[in-house]
């Protein structure tokens, strides 16, 4: 027995000998009627008696070592800070390019691209279904010409770029590769992430195009292509963020996200890939909500669970395959239009929970996002929030400041146990795809969202400024609005690209893509070929629609 295990066993024995348990049980109001957002009872006092001493220490471990409860790197932020990656994109590629340069000048350390709705679901800006949505919730990207403008003057060999894109992820990745090539940058050194997580779209967000089977094929094709051509690229960001935004609890966020991760790993193995050939490039994306302590425990539990899943279930041997690396975004759904300045405090505490939980990169929301896209002033405050946490608070000076806290370790165990119960149910249904097709995951999320809203309306959960501490306020002024002229300008640019490109070459590349889709070969090379010919996003997505069809929720 190690000295550490022996010491903690002796402490527990001493507590038991002195009958401390009886004293603790009489502690005033120890059994308080508090619960986390996941319904986990929250007691007012935690002691070594609340967890088995041997399991407690064994599971805790050390940073950078299996099961990674305390972090995926041995030194965590003592080596370097998390990547400060503000999510941005609006209107045209020209406007968004200016915002990126503004953020980089303010000290941002990574880019994160938000795309408009037509781009997310595979329609060009001139499509009838795009009317009124062009450039509204992100930047409009119709072709390689837009992508060239988006990254003009930004050296892709020096920045890492995250792209929140799913159904059309292969097309946007191909455009990024093509822009890098034009800059003279070898794809083998490109760093970044595509979200590429289609399962959570079916369950929680809705920007899907193709049926699950065909979507999973595209995803595993990306895995295979990047293994050889973009070895430093994160091929997927398995997202719990949108599951949480849709109303799930913290436990459900962990469970459903990891269940999706299991489905992707199994699909890649079924497609003939060795687990250790691709698993190290999987990444995750979590939400940081307002229940501060539960969120910290959630991140730790997810990390430990994934390590065990990869080692025990998929027999991964490379330690890098077992590490859950994740990006965090503060919770957009918690931002209130009432007393919006309060959102600065909410975002600060949420960001701090992500840092204490060991995130690898972080986006902090802006205080005015309940009204509109963030202004330059508000996004600067959001970025400065991260910088203050990093440089002024001292929380990054310790590798794992809260490791060993009785409360945190107890919550971590509870979240892990409850999330594993969900995963077992999903396994019994045949996996995440079957659970989504049967509506199970959607119902669970909807039920949790309903219960939370009822608790708010009954004032069982207090939202400052919303159901308590209300006050009269003047309307908010000076928010960022997208001009209606953006749409007409974007359509003019698109028409110019179509007029100047080689139409015969475009047709040939699209025919080649259709042939590949009808067969079994990897789809990324023909998509890249079409992109380089300036085929539009809508044309490429439409070609695949002809072969794969579209998914319709039952």
Task: List, for residues 409-425, the tens digit of each pLDDT value.
Answer: 989 999 999 999 999 99
Residue 543 located in a structural domain: no
DSSP state of 373: B
Element (H, E) at 505: helix 503-518
- For residue range 126-138, what is the model confidence (pLDDT) as tens digits? 999 999 999 999 9
- For residue range 495-529, what is the model confidence (pLDDT) as tens digits? 999 999 999 999 999 999 999 999 999 999 999 99
Determine the structural domain holding residue 285 and report its residue range. Answer: 80-395+409-457
Residue 500 located in a structural domain: no
Please tell me whether residues 241 and 347 are part of one structural domain: yes
Tell me how far apart the alpha carbons of residues 386 and 392 are, in angstroms, rounded to a whole number.
10
Residues 6+ apart with CB under 8 A from 18: none
Please tell me whether residues 15 and 143 are part of one structural domain: no
Percent of the chain with pLDDT over 90: 84
Per-residue model confidence (pLDDT) at position 59: 73
3-class secondary structure, 122: coil
Residue 464 located in a structural domain: no
Percent of the chain with pLDDT over 70: 92
Please tell me whether residues 183 and 215 are part of one structural domain: yes
Please tell me whether residues 49 and 88 are part of one structural domain: no
Per-residue model confidence (pLDDT) at position 358: 98
The runs of H, that is alpha helices, within 358-477 are 376-392, 406-429, 432-437, 440-457
**Structural contact between residues 93 and 141, judged by C-beta atoms closer than 8 angstroms:** yes
Tell me how far apart the alpha carbons of residues 97 and 367 are, in angstroms, rounded to a whole number.
22
Please tell me whether residues 42 and 106 are part of one structural domain: no
The dihedral of CA 7, 12, 13, 18: what is its sign?
Answer: positive
Please tell me whether residues 257 and 345 are part of one structural domain: yes
3-class secondary structure, 83: strand
Instruction: Count the neighbouring beta carbons within 10 Å of the beta carbon of residue 426.
Output: 24
Average pLDDT, integer, range 426-447: 97
Backbone angles phi, psi at 198, to 5 degrees: -80, -25
**Structural contact between residues 541 and 171, judged by C-beta atoms closer than 8 angstroms:** yes
Q: E-strand spans in 195-331?
A: 233-234, 236-239, 282-288, 326-330
Residues 6+ apart with CB under 8 A from 219: 169, 196, 198, 236, 264, 267
Contacts of the segment 432-435: beta carbons below 8 A, 24+ positions apart = 432/199, 432/256, 432/259, 432/260, 432/262, 432/263, 433/199, 433/212, 433/216, 433/263, 435/259
Backbone angles phi, psi at 473, to 5 degrees: -140, 145
Last residue within a domain, chosen from 457, 480, 495: 457
Please tell me whether residues 336 and 203 are part of one structural domain: yes
Tell me how far apart the alpha carbons of residues 512 and 514 are, in angstroms, rounded to a whole number.
5
For residue 444, which of 200, 199, 203 has the smallest C-alpha distance? 203
Last residue within a domain, chosen from 435, 457, 479: 457
Residue 342 located in a structural domain: yes
Residues 6+ apart with CB under 8 A from 500: none
213, two tokens: 């089977």
Per-residue model confidence (pLDDT) at position 60: 82
- For residue range 6-54, what is the model confidence (pLDDT) as tens digits? 665 666 666 556 555 555 454 444 445 578 889 888 777 777 666 555 5
CATH number where 133 lies: 3.20.20.240
Residue 523 located in a structural domain: no
Query: CA torsion 30→33→34→37, rounded to 10°?
Result: 140
Please tell me whether residues 141 and 45 are part of one structural domain: no
Tell me how far apart the alpha carbons of residues 135 and 118 are, in angstroms, rounded to a whole number.
9
Per-residue model confidence (pLDDT) at position 46: 76
Task: Report CA-CA distances (Å) from 492 to 76, 131, 496.
Answer: 48, 14, 6
Please tell me whether residues 169 and 20 are part of one structural domain: no
Please tell me whether residues 47 and 125 are part of one structural domain: no
Residues 6+ apart with CB under 8 A from 88: 96, 99, 100, 103, 111, 112, 113, 114, 379
- For residue range 147-177, what is the model confidence (pLDDT) as tens digits? 999 999 999 999 999 999 999 999 999 999 9
The dihedral of CA 357, 363, 367, 369: what is its sign?
Answer: negative
Residues 6+ apart with CB under 8 A from 71: 63, 64, 303, 358, 399, 400
Tell me how far apart the alpha carbons of residues 524 and 173 are, in angstroms, rounded to a whole number.
9
Please tell me whether residues 55 and 88 are part of one structural domain: no
What residues does 373 pair with on adjacent strands? 480
Task: Report CA-CA distances (Å) from 221 to 121, 203, 258, 372, 527.
Answer: 19, 22, 21, 37, 11
What residues does 234 pair with on adjacent strands? 193
For every residue of 473-487, which 3-state class applies, written as one string? CCCCCCCECCCCHHH
- For residue range 195-226, what is the model confidence (pLDDT) as tens digits? 999 999 999 999 999 999 999 999 999 999 99
- For residue range 61-90, what is the model confidence (pLDDT) as tens digits? 899 999 999 999 999 999 999 999 999 999
Last residue within a domain, chosen from 457, 475, 497: 457
* Residue 255 exposure: Cα atoms within 13 Å on the Cβ side: 26
Average model confidence (pLDDT) across the chain: 92
Going by DSSP bridges, is the β-strand pair 236-239/282-288 parallel, antiparallel, or unpaired? parallel
Per-residue model confidence (pLDDT) at position 1: 47
376-392 vs 93-105: helix crossing angle, rounded to 10: 30
Per-residue model confidence (pLDDT) at position 406: 86
Split into its structural domains, the chain has a count of 2
Name the one residue in this structure whose structure tokens are 């550490």: 4
* Spacing of C-alpha 430 from chain mean position: 25
Please tell me whether residues 202 and 152 are part of one structural domain: yes
- For residue range 301-320, what is the model confidence (pLDDT) as tens digits? 999 999 999 999 999 999 99
Tell me how far apart the alpha carbons of residues 89 and 117 are, in angstroms, rounded to a whole number.
12
Tell me how far apart the alpha carbons of residues 427 and 423 are, in angstroms, rounded to a whole number.
6
Residue 541 located in a structural domain: no
Residue 338 located in a structural domain: yes
Residue 91 located in a structural domain: yes
Tell me how far apart the alpha carbons of residues 340 and 367 are, in angstroms, rounded to a whole number.
6
**Structural contact between residues 533 and 507, judged by C-beta atoms closer than 8 angstroms:** no
Tell me how far apart the alpha carbons of residues 146 and 178 are, in angstroms, rounded to a whole number.
12
Tell me how far apart the alpha carbons of residues 36 and 140 are, in angstroms, rounded to a whole number.
40
């Amino acid at each position: 027995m190690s000295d550490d295990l022996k010491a903690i066993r002796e402490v527990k024995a001493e507590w038991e000998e002195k009958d401390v348990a009886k004293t603790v049980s009489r502690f005033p109001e120890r059994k308080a009627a508090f619960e986390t957002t996941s319904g986990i009872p929250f007691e007012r006092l935690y002691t070594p008696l609340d967890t088995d001493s041997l399991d407690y220490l064994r599971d805790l471990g050390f940073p950078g070592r299996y099961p990674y409860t305390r972090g995926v790197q041995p030194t965590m932020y003592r080596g370097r800070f998390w990547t400060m990656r503000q999510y941005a994109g609006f209107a045209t590629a020209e406007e968004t390019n200016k915002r990126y340069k503004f953020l980089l000048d303010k000290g941002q350390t990574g880019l994160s691209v938000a795309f408009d709705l037509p781009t997310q679901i595979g329609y060009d800006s001139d499509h009838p279904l795009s009317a009124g949505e062009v450039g509204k919730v992100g930047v409009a990207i119709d072709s390689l010409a837009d992508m060239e403008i988006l990254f003009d003057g930004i050296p892709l060999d020096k920045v890492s770029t995250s792209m929140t894109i799913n159904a059309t992820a292969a097309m946007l990745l191909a455009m990024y590769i093509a822009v890098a090539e034009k800059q003279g940058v070898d794809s083998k050194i490109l760093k970044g992430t595509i979200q590429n997580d289609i399962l959570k779209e079916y369950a929680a967000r809705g920007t899907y195009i193709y049926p699950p089977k065909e979507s999973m094929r595209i995803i595993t094709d990306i895995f295979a292509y990047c293994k050889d051509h973009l070895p430093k690229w994160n091929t997927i960001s398995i997202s719990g963020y949108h599951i949480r935004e849709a109303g799930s609890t913290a436990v459900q966020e962990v469970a459903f996200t990891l269940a999706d991760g299991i489905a992707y790993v199994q699909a890649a193995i079924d497609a003939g890939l060795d687990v250790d050939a691709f698993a190290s490039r999987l990444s995750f994306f979590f939400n940081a909500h307002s229940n501060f302590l539960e969120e910290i425990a959630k991140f730790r539990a997810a990390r430990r669970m994934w390590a065990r899943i990869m080692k025990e279930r998929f027999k991964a041997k490379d330690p890098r395959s077992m590490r859950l690396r994740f990006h965090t975004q503060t919770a957009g759904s918690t931002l209130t239009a009432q007393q919006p300045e309060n959102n600065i405090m909410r975002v600060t505490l949420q960001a701090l929970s992500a840092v204490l939980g060991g995130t690898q990169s972080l986006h902090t929301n802006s205080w005015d996002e309940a009204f509109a896209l963030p202004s330059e002033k508000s996004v600067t405050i959001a970025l400065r929030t991260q910088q203050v946490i990093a440089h002024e608070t001292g929380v990054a000076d310790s590798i794992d400041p809260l490791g060993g806290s009785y409360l945190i370790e107890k919550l971590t165990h509870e979240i892990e146990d409850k999330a594993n119960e969900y995963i077992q149910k999903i396994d019994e249904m045949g996996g995440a795809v079957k659970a989504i097709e049967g509506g199970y995951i959607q119902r669970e999320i909807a039920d949790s969202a309903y219960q939370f809203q009822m608790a708010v309306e009954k004032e069982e959960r207090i939202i400052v400024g919303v159901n308590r501490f209300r006050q009269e306020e003047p309307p908010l002024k000076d928010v960022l609005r997208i001009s209606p002229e953006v749409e007409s300008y974007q359509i003019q640019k698109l028409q110019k690209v179509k007029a100047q490109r080689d139409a015969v070459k475009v047709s040939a590349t699209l025919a080649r893509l259709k042939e590949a889709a009808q067969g079994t070969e990897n789809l990324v090379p023909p998509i890249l070929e079409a992109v380089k010919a300036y085929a539009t996003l809508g044309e490429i997505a439409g070609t695949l629609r002809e072969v794969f069809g579209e998914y319709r929720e039952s």
